[in-house]
Amino acid sequence: MSSLAKIYNRRKISFKKGKGSYLYSSNGKKYLDFVQGIAVNSLGHANPYLIDAIKKQSKKVWHVSNAFLIPEGEKLAKKLTEKTFADYVFFQNSGAEATEAAIKVARRYFYSIGKPNKYRIICIKNSFHGRTIAAISASGSKKMTEGFGPKAPGFDHFEFGNHKQMKKLINKNTAAIMVETIMGEGGIKIIPNWCIKELRKICNKKGILLILDEVQCGVGRSGKFFAFEDAKIKPDIVPIAKGIGGGFPIGAVLMSKKVAKGMTPGTHGSTFGGNPLAMSVGNAVLDQILNKGFLPKVRKLSNYFHSELNKIQKQFPSIIKEVRGVGYLIGLQLLFDQTKFIQQLLDNKLLTIRAAENVIRILPPLNVKKSEIDIALSIIKKVCYNYKI
Ligand SMILES: *Cc1c(COP(=O)(O)O)cnc(C)c1O
């Protein structure tokens, strides 16, 4: 009998080691891991470069308080700001903390310019921003908020794609619009570039902030460092997490100089956030992902993956409704519940994970090999062939 709280319905499978795209189960089976901790292990399992970084740092210093200078964190923040829209970064340990901080930064900005009544955040109904009280309130999903007492006030919701409804929600109390550039848990739903552009315009016009939650789709997963890059706009605040730590828990909120003004000493904090051990891993992850040629290769190979998946979709239109996503944030939307299909992929040694709307999420490491993609494709095809609807 497990003593772990029953918050998860766990698969009865555990792993004794991993290497690159593969996981080895305790009972001696080898699985192609296209879950990678849910878009977390961006460079695969047991990456030698990351092992080296954590080993080296672990012998020097693991943790010091943010009351002192942390050069490894300075370095990572510098890299992130040089490569992106952001002027400042603050580190946390998870996605929920990063989105929570994003909300705080937005509200605090308006407070600091003498507009404390501008605190409401407009979000997409049933989006995902994490599991803290504020984050579940931001999502507005009944499944996540039910039974947890009063929701955090100050969140308004519109249905995905309902622009009219969204515009109607903006009023004098609105501080920001916060959306996932690509909805991950929600079923790999992309907000198109023209929409992101439009959001930016609306925010400018109304004097409110744009928060793009890139916790799942950011840090190279889309083939660009940020999924919003092709929209050619600058958001005000971007929380990231999952991929940046390559498996080590790191969250970060990136912000422009303008909005950072409100975040003065004492207004926010984190005991663990940005400690030297985490930061040395984050630096190593970014070294790889920002390497010239790394992201172009992600784009090239992932395009191949998508086009092959689309061929399979055309071959099995009574099973697969649609191939969704971009880069290595891929969704196979089935025409029916995906549970059995995911189990059959697993029986054939391919690990995938569900998302909303009957979607099977496929999340290979960003350095996946073409030969591994081909193996996944043949397993998916095989399961389609043998699938009894
Ligand atoms: C996973 C996720 C979060 C929450 O991250 P945790 O590390 O689980 O707290 C927030 N936003 C998005 C878009 C996510 O995918």
Q: Which residues of 276-301 are buried (b: 16+ CB within 10 A; e: fewer)?
A: bbbbbbbbbbbebbbeeeebeebbeb
Which of 78, 95, 108, 56 has its CA nearest to residue 273? 95
Residue 24 is classified by DSSP as E
The minimum-distance atom of ligand 1 relative to the CA of 97 is: 9
Supply the pLDDT for residue 41: 98
Concatenated DSSP letters of 168-237:
HH--TTEEEEEEESEETTTTSEEPPHHHHHHHHHHHHHHT-EEEEE-TTTTTTTTSSSSTTGGG----SE
- Residue 221 in contact with ligand 1 by CB distance below 6 A: no
Sequence-distant (≥ 6) Cβ neighbours of residue 368 within 8 angstroms: 21, 44, 301, 328
Over its C-alpha atoms, the chain yields an Rg (Å, rounded) of 21
- Residue 100 in contact with ligand 1 by CB distance below 6 A: no
Beta-carbon neighbour count of residue 350 at 10 Å? 23
- Residue 144 in contact with ligand 1 by CB distance below 6 A: no
Q: Which two tokens stand for residue 187?
A: 């079923």
Q: Which two tokens stand for residue 278?
A: 């985490």
The minimum-distance atom of ligand 1 relative to the CA of 127 is: 13
- Residue 99 in contact with ligand 1 by CB distance below 6 A: yes
Which of 124, 151, 121, 123 has its CA nearest to residue 136? 151
Q: Which two tokens stand for residue 357?
A: 């709307």
User: What digits encode the pLDDT tens for the residues 56-86?
Assistant: 999 999 999 999 999 999 999 999 999 999 9
The minimum-distance atom of ligand 1 relative to the CA of 95 is: 5
Could you give the 3-state DSSP secondary structure of residue 373? helix
- Residue 20 in contact with ligand 1 by CB distance below 6 A: no
Which single residue is written with the structure tokens 């943010």? 66
- Residue 180 in contact with ligand 1 by CB distance below 6 A: yes
- Residue 127 in contact with ligand 1 by CB distance below 6 A: no
Separation CA 202–CA 192 (nearest Å)? 15
- Residue 248 in contact with ligand 1 by CB distance below 6 A: no
Pocket test for ligand 1, best of 139, 242, 361 (most atoms within 8 A of CB): 242
Q: How much distance in Å is there from the Cα of 153 to the middle of ligand 1?
A: 20
Separation CA 43–CA 20 (nearest Å)? 7
User: What digits encode the pLDDT tens for the residues 273-324?
Assistant: 999 999 999 999 999 999 999 999 999 999 999 999 999 999 999 999 999 9
| Amino acid residing at 172 | K
Please report, for residues 43, 53, 181, 298, 348, the alpha-carbon distance to residue 366 in angstroms, rounded to integers and kept in the order given: 6, 19, 19, 6, 22
Task: Give the closest residue (by CA) to ligand 1 atom 6.
Answer: 95
- Residue 241 in contact with ligand 1 by CB distance below 6 A: yes
Q: How much distance in Å is there from the Cα of 215 to the middle of ligand 1?
A: 6
- Residue 129 in contact with ligand 1 by CB distance below 6 A: yes
pLDDT in tens, the chain (389 residues): 899 999 999 999 999 999 999 999 999 999 999 999 999 999 999 999 999 999 999 999 999 999 999 999 999 999 999 999 999 999 999 999 999 999 999 999 999 999 999 999 999 999 999 999 999 999 999 999 999 999 999 999 999 999 999 999 999 999 999 999 999 999 999 999 999 999 999 999 999 999 999 999 999 999 999 999 999 999 999 999 999 999 999 999 999 999 999 999 999 999 999 999 999 999 999 999 999 999 999 999 999 999 999 999 999 999 999 999 999 999 999 999 999 999 999 999 999 999 999 999 999 999 999 999 999 999 999 999 999 87
